[in-house]
Structure 1
């Protein structure tokens, strides 16, 4: 099952806010809020942007691995 716990863990580890992620990636804070609440999931394109910004793998963001550097 896909979950986004690692996405929000990585955001917290980096000490950035949803607003900062939004400004850096062009992803709306509304999208980020919807993902956090489980109302929707990010597209592949947005996951790629987030992985680049947060310096980790998409697999990590999706919870497929506990290692942020796997498949990078």
Structure 2
């Protein structure tokens, strides 16, 4: 299950760690607007499964880490 609060914090951390604006990340993920990233980071909406996978792939982290099921970001 997706923990919205942890997901929001981790997404923002990863985005900032890679020096990306919300617009740059939205573009890289093929999202229509930066508003989706902002809403994810505020916990307003949850991404689709496909978007979650794209985010995990983009940042090279595990889905379990991204959604709060693990504190280990490494993929296995």
Length-normalised TM-score, structure 1: 0.83
Q: Is the CA contact 1:7–1:62 (under 8 Å) kept in the aligned structure 2?
A: no
Give 5+ residue unaligned stretches, structure 1. none
Aligned to 1:9: 13
Larger mean CA deviation between 42-51 and 17-26 belongs to 17-26
Q: Calculate the aligned-residue CA RMSD, in Å.
A: 1.6
Q: Which runs of 5+ in 2 are unaligned?
A: none
Aligned residues: 71
Shift of the alpha carbon at 1:19?
A: 1.1
Distance 1:62 1:9 in 2: 13
Report the counterpart of residue 43 of structure 1 in structure 2.
48
After TM superposition, where is structure 1 displaced by more than 4 Å over at least 4 residues in a row? none
TM-score normalised to the size of structure 2? 0.80
C-alpha distance in structure 2 between counterparts of 1:24 and 1:37, whole Å: 20
